[in-house]
Structures are given as structure tokens and as C-alpha cells.
Amino acid sequence: MAFLQSAPEPATVQIKLDPVSLVLHASGPVFLVVWLLIFAAILVWVIAVLKVLQLARLASLQARFEQESAHAHSPDQLFALAQRHADAPGARVVMELSRRVGTSRLLDSIAKRAIVTETQRASALMPTLSSIAAASPFIGLFGTVYGIMDAFLRIGQQKSASLPVVAPAIGEALIATAIGLFAAIPAVIAYNGLNKRVDDLLAALEAASEGWVEIASLSARGMQESIPLALQRTSDRPTPVMPKS
């Protein structure tokens, strides 16, 4: 009995109850969740900065192209402006129109397809922001649930519910939730703000494309008007059938 009473107790690792120590000494799944959420939070800010710069540049180029294209009254003038402002979204739409000659209806379908391409270009990385905003709270909740389970397991092993036993597990669980919200809240705000800018850019592009289609269709009308009237009438006449001898 004396030997059992004098047996040394197993040493326990003392963990400081500060966020950095709790993250560094977190259990396996919580450790993985926390660093995944930290990476997601950093990625949100990187994407937000890149998209702000991209959309500001596209809006500036588009405004300049629309301002100059308002003075274009012929297809040649419009196509020359598009070549000069090749990086503007509207200029890329006009360049697609310049590759085809047809009626307003045909050119309108070509412009709509080009606008879809510009929509995809302007919306790049937006699904990533949306996914982070939607998934981060649930990933943090998973870390929280696992941390609470770990706290109950420690209570069962130590036969004690004292604060030194449960505090580390509960602390890392709550930190996982906090980091999940830290990643999700900026992602939601950035997504809504950037999505509004994308919608404004595309709305202006669609509104201006109607005028570009009308100007581009003048080339097809000019080709039809340049055909002599007598030649048009000849082409409309049926081909005579020679009687068999």
C-alpha cells in the first residue's frame, strides 16, 4: 500500500490557455480544421484584393470605350475603336461582331454569346468566395463538436470535471468556431460587394451592345444596297426550263 501511495503520478503537459498555444497544441482533427480555416481566411482577402483591382480596371476600360464609341457612326469607326481598346470588355464584344456579317438578329445572338464569355471572365474566383462563405461556419462547427467530445473523453479518463482538464479541449473547440466565422464573414461581405460590381459592369455592357449591333449591321445593309437592282431582279427570276426536243 505504501508503494502504491508513493508511486509518482504521470506528468501532464501544461498548456497555456491563450489562442496561439491552444491552436499549436490542438488535437489532430481540430488542428487540421483550424489551419484549413486560417488558409481559407487568407485566401478570402487575396481573392477580394485581386477582384477589386480586376473589376476597377475593367470598369475603367469599359467606360473609356463606351465614351469614344458613342461618336462612332459607321462599322469601320467602331471596329477601329475596338482594336484600339482591345482590353475593354465591350471592345471584345465588338471584335466578335466584326468577324461576322449578317442581319441584326444574327449579330445580336453573337453579341449575347460574347457577353456570356465576358460574364465568365468577370466572375472568375467568385464561386470560391461563395464556397468559403457557405462552408467555413460548418467546418468550424465540426472542429467545435470534436473539441467538446474530446473534453468529455478527458472527463471520463481523469474522473474529474475540473477546469484544467476540460479547458484546453473546450478552448480549441471555441477557437475553431471563431476562425470559421472569421473566414466566412469577410467572404460574405466581399462576395456581395464584388457581385454588385460585376452586375453593374454587365448591365452597362448589355445596354451598350444593342447600339453596337445596329452599327455593325450597317455593313450587311451596305453590301445589299451595293448590289445592282437589275442583278437582284435577275436572281429572283426562276430559271427557264428548255423543252425537250
The predicted-structure confidence for 129-150, as pLDDT tens digits, reads as follows 999 999 999 999 998 888 888 7
Q: What is the pLDDT of residues 59-70, one digit of tens each?
A: 999 999 999 998
Angle between helices 104-122 and 28-69 (to 10 degrees): 140
Which distant-in-sequence residues (6+ apart) come within 8 Å of 51 by Cβ?
125, 126, 190, 194
Distance between CA 187 and CA 175 in Å, rounded?
18
Nearest to 76 by CA among 103, 94, 102: 94
The amino acid sitting at 224 is Q
Cβ atoms < 10 Å from Cβ of 135: 16
Nearest to 151 by CA among 138, 160, 139: 160
List per-residue pLDDT tens for the chain, 245 residues long. 343 444 444 444 455 556 666 666 666 788 888 889 999 999 999 999 999 999 999 999 999 999 999 888 899 999 999 999 999 999 999 999 998 877 888 999 999 999 999 999 999 999 999 999 999 999 999 988 888 887 788 788 877 777 677 777 777 788 888 899 999 999 999 999 999 999 999 999 999 999 999 998 886 655 444 444 333 444 445 555 455 54
Which distant-in-sequence residues (6+ apart) come within 8 Å of 232 by Cβ?
none
pTM value surpassing 0.85: no
**C-beta contacts of 185-193 below 8 A and 24+ residues apart:** 186/41, 186/44, 186/45, 186/48, 187/40, 187/44, 187/129, 187/130, 187/132, 187/133, 187/136, 188/133, 190/44, 190/47, 190/48, 190/51, 190/129, 191/126, 191/129, 191/130, 191/133
The C-alpha cell at 172 is: 480549441
Helix intervals (H) in 123-162: 126-158
Which sign, positive or negative, has the C-alpha torsion 10, 11, 17, 23?
negative
